[in-house]
Amino acid sequence: MIRRTSQDIRRLNRFEVLRRVYAGPGAMSRQDVAAATGLSFATVANLTAELLEAGVLVEAGHEESGGGRPRARLAVNAERGALIGVDVAETSVHAELFDLALTVRHSVERPLPPGDVRPADVVGLLGGAVEELLAVSGTDRARVLGVGVSVPGMVDREGGVSSFSPYWSWHEVPLRALLDERLGMPLWLDNPLRASTVAEMWFGAGREVDDLVVLTLRAGVGAGIALGGQLHRGFTDSAGEWGHTCLVLDGRPCTCGNRGCVEAYVSLRGIAGTWRELAPDDERTGGPDDAATVAALARAADAGDPAAVAAVERTGRYLGAAVAQLVNLLNPQVVVVGNQVMDLLGERLLPVAYEAVGRHALALPRRAATLRRSAVPHDPVTRGAATFALEGFLEDREVFGPVSRMRRAARGGGGAGA
Partner DNA sequence: CCCCTTCTTCCAACCCTTCGAATAAGATCG
Partner DNA sequence: CGATCTTATTCGAAGGGTTGGAAGAAGGGG
Q: Using CB distances below 5 to 8 A depending on partner kind, what does residue 66 bind out of a second copy, DNA, none?
A: DNA
CB of 408 to DNA, least distance (A): 9
DSSP string, 302-313: HTT-HHHHHHHH
CB of 134 to a second copy, least distance (A): 35
CA 200, 205, 211, 215 dihedral sign is negative
State the amino acid at position 169 in one-letter form: S
CB of 18 to DNA, least distance (A): 13
Could you count the other beta carbons within 10 Å of the beta carbon of residue 110? Answer: 15
Quick one: 359 or 405, whose CB is closer to a second copy? 359
Q: Considering the rule CB under 7 A, would residue 3 count as an interface residue with DNA?
A: yes
Q: Considering the rule CB under 8 A, would residue 37 count as an interface residue with a second copy?
A: yes
- Selected from 120, 135, 362, 410, the binder of a second copy by CB under 8 A is 362
Q: Per-residue string for binding with a second copy, 298-337, x by CB under 8 A? A: -----------------------x--xxx-xxxxxx----
Close Cβ partners of 162 (under 8 Å, ≥ 6 residues apart): 119, 151, 153, 154, 155, 156, 170, 172, 173, 175, 189
Hey, which residues between 58 and 97 contact DNA (CB under 7 A)? 62, 65-72
Stretch that binds DNA, among 98-106, 144-152, 289-297, 410-418 (CB under 7 A): 410-418
Q: Per-residue string for binding with a second copy, 132-171, x by CB under 8 A? A: ----------------------x--------xx-------
- Selected from 249, 303, 363, 418, the binder of DNA by CB under 7 A is 418
Report how far residue 250's alpha carbon sits from residue 141's, in angstroms, rounded to the nearest whole number.
53
Contacts with DNA: how many residues (CB under 7 A)?
37
Q: Which of 55, 37, 33 is nearest to 100 (CA)?
A: 55
Between helix 6-23 and helix 380-394 the angle, nearest 10°, is 140
Q: Considering the rule CB under 7 A, would residue 13 count as an interface residue with DNA?
A: yes
Q: Which of 259, 213, 263, 280 is nearest to 240 (CA)?
A: 213
Q: Which of 226, 148, 219 is nearest to 183 (CA)?
A: 148
Report how far residue 77's alpha carbon sits from residue 56's, in angstroms, rounded to the nearest whole number.
5
Q: Considering the rule CB under 7 A, would residue 412 count as an interface residue with DNA?
A: no
CA 320, 325, 331, 336 dihedral sign is negative
Q: Per-residue string for binding with DNA, 19-58, x by CB under 7 A? A: ----------xxx-------xxxxx-xxxxx---------
Contact 266, 322 (CB under 8 A): yes
Q: Using CB distances below 5 to 8 A depending on partner kind, what does residue 69 bind out of DNA, a second copy, none?
A: DNA
State the amino acid at position 235 in one-letter form: F
**Strand (E) or helix (H) holding 72:** strand 72-76
Q: Considering the rule CB under 7 A, would residue 10 count as an interface residue with DNA?
A: yes
CA 302, 308, 309, 311 dihedral sign is negative
Q: Using CB distances below 5 to 8 A depending on partner kind, what does residue 188 bind out of DNA, a second copy, none?
A: none
Q: Considering the rule CB under 8 A, would residue 6 count as an interface residue with a second copy?
A: yes
Quick one: 37 or 92, whose CB is closer to DNA? 37
Report how far residue 24's alpha carbon sits from residue 38's, in angstroms, rounded to the nearest whole number.
16
Q: Considering the rule CB under 7 A, would residue 405 count as an interface residue with DNA?
A: yes
Contact 341, 297 (CB under 8 A): no
Contact 45, 79 (CB under 8 A): no
Report how far residue 403's alpha carbon sits from residue 405's, in angstroms, rounded to the nearest whole number.
5
Contact 245, 261 (CB under 8 A): yes
Q: Considering the rule CB under 8 A, would residue 107 count as an interface residue with a second copy?
A: no
Quick one: 364 or 410, whose CB is closer to a second copy? 364
Residues that bind DNA (CB under 7 A): 3, 5-7, 9-10, 13, 29-31, 39-43, 45-49, 62, 65-72, 402-405, 410, 415, 417-418
Residues that bind a second copy (CB under 8 A): 1-6, 9, 12-13, 16, 36-39, 154, 163-164, 210-211, 223, 225, 227-228, 230, 232-242, 244-249, 251, 256, 258, 260, 321, 324-326, 328-333, 359-365, 367-369
